[in-house]
Chain A
Amino acid sequence: MNLPLVALGPLLSLALTSVILLLPAALRKPRASAVVAGLGFAATGGLLWPAWQVAPVMATELLRIDRYALVVMAIVTLCGLVVTVVSHEYFAKRGAFHKAELYLLLVIAALGGVVLAAASHFASLFLGVELLGISTAVLIPFPYSRPALEAGVKYLVLSGAASAVLVFGMALVYAGDGTLVFAKLAFSGPGWVGLVMVLAGLAFKLSWVPFHLWAGDVYEGAPAPIAGFLGSASKTAAMAVTMRLLLESGAYRNDVLATLFVFVACFSILGGNWLALLQPRIKRLLAYSAIAHFGFLLVLPATAARVGAGFAAEATLFYLLAYSLAVLVSFGLVSLLSPEDPETDELEKWRGLFHHQPVAAILMTAALLSLAGLPLTIGFVAKFYLFTAAIGGRLWLLALVMVFGSGLGMFYYLRVIYELGRTEVETVAAPAIVSLTMLAVLGLLLLGVGVWPAWIMEAFAGGLWAGGL
Chain B
Amino acid sequence: MSLLWLPGGLLLGGLAAWLGERGKAHRAHGIALLTLVTTAGMLMFSDSETSLPWIPRFGIALHLSLDGLSLSLVILTLFLGVIAVLSSWREIGQRAGLFQLNLLWTLAGTLGVFLATDLFLFFFAWELMIVPMFFLIRHWGHEGRVRAAFKFFLYTQVGGLFMWLGILGLAFLFYRQTGVFSFDFEDLKGVETGVWGPWLMLGFSLGFLVKLPAVPLHLWLPEAHTQAPTGGSVILAGVLLKTGAYGMLRFVPALFPAEAQAAAPAFMVLGASAVLYGAHQAFAQTDLKRLIAYSSISHMGLVLLGVFSTTEAGVRGAVMTMLAHGLSAAALFSIAGMLQQRVHSRDLDLYGGFWGSAPRLGALTLFFALAALGLPGLGNFVGEFLALLGAFLGRPWIAALAALGLILAPVYALWLVQRSFHGPAQRAIADLNLREGVLLGMLVFTLLILGMQPDPVLDLAASVTFPVGSGP
Contacts and interface: CB of A to CB of B under 8 A. Distances in A.
Interface of A: 369, 374-376, 380, 384, 387-388, 391-392, 396, 399-400, 403-404, 406-407, 410-411, 414, 418, 421, 452-454, 457-458, 461, 469
Interface string B118-137: 00100011011001001100
Contacts of B131: 369, 374
B138 A418 contact: yes
Top 3 nearest A-B pairs (CB, nearest first) are A407-B158, A403-B161, A391-B168
Given A407-B154, A454-B54, A457-B57, A391 B128 contact: no
B172 A392 contact: yes
A403 B162 contact: yes
Contacts of A374: 127, 131
Contact of A454 (B57, B135, B157, B171): B57
Interface in B157-198: 157-158, 161-162, 164-165, 168-169, 171-172, 175, 181
B422 interface: no
B57 A411 contact: no
14 contacts: A369-B131, A374-B127, A376-B128, A388-B168, A388-B172, A392-B172, A396-B199, A410-B153, A410-B154, A410-B157, A418-B138, A418-B146, A454-B53, A469-B181
B456 interface: no
Given A374-B131, A391-B169, A414-B150, A458 B57 contact: yes
Given A374-B131, A375-B128, A387 B168 contact: yes
Contacts of A384: 120
Given A375-B127, A410-B157, 13 more contacts: A374-B131, A380-B127, A388-B172, A392-B175, A403-B158, A404-B158, A407-B154, A410-B153, A414-B134, A418-B146, A452-B54, A454-B55, A469-B175
Given A411-B154, A453-B55, A387 B165 contact: yes
B56 interface: yes
Contacts of A399: 165
Contacts of B162: 403
A374 B125 CA distance: 10
Nearest to B124: A375
A414 B125 CA distance: 19
Contacts of B171: 388
Contact of A391 (B153, B161, B172): B172
A212 to B, nearest CB: 24
Contact of A387 (B55, B57, B164, B175): B164
B26 interface: no
Q: Which secondary structure characterizes the binding site on chain B?
A: helix
B151 to A, nearest CB: 10
A453 B57 CA distance: 10
A404 B134 CA distance: 20
A421 B154 contact: no
Nearest to A450: B124
Nearest to A407: B158
B27 interface: no
B139 interface: yes
Contacts of A452: 54
A411 B134 CA distance: 12
A143 B169 CA distance: 50
Contacts of A369: 131
Contacts of A469: 175, 181
Contacts of A380: 124, 127
Contacts of B55: 453-454, 457
Q: Specify which of A374, A376, A391 lies most central, judged by the most chain B CB atoms within 10 Å of its CB.
A: A391
A414 B168 contact: no
A43 B356 CA distance: 80
Given A374-B127, A453-B55, A454-B56, A403 B134 contact: no
A406 B54 CA distance: 25
Contacts of B175: 392, 469
Interface in B97-146: 120, 124-125, 127-128, 131, 134-135, 138-139, 146
